[in-house]
A = this chain, B = another copy of it.
Amino acid sequence: MSEDGGAADPALLQDALRGFVRAFGLHQPESTPCGQAIPVSEAHALGELAQEGELRQVELARRLRLQKSTVSRLVGQLTARGWVERAPAPDDGRGVVLRLTSSGQKAAHNLADARREKFSRLLDAIPPHEREGVLHALGVLTEALDE
* Number of A positions contacting B (CB below 8 A): 59
What 1/0 mask marks residues of chain A from 105 to 143 whose CB sits below 8 Å from any chain B CB?
A: 000000000011001101101111111111111111111
> Within 8 Å of chain B (Cβ to Cβ): is A1?
yes
Q: For chain A, what secondary structure do more than half of its interface residues adopt (helix, strand, loop), or is it mixed? A: helix
Which one of B4, B14, B20 contacts A145 once the chains associate, using CB atoms below 8 Å?
B20
A83 to chain B, nearest CB (A): 19
Q: Is the CB of B132 within 8 A of A5?
A: yes
User: Chain B residues with Cβ under 8 A from A123's Cβ?
Assistant: 8, 10, 13
Which residues from chain A sit less than 8 Å from chain B, CB to CB?
A: 1, 4-6, 8, 10-14, 16-28, 40-41, 44, 47, 64-66, 115-116, 119-120, 122-123, 125-147
Q: A122-B144, A131-B4 given as contacts; is B28 within 8 A of A66 (CB)? A: yes
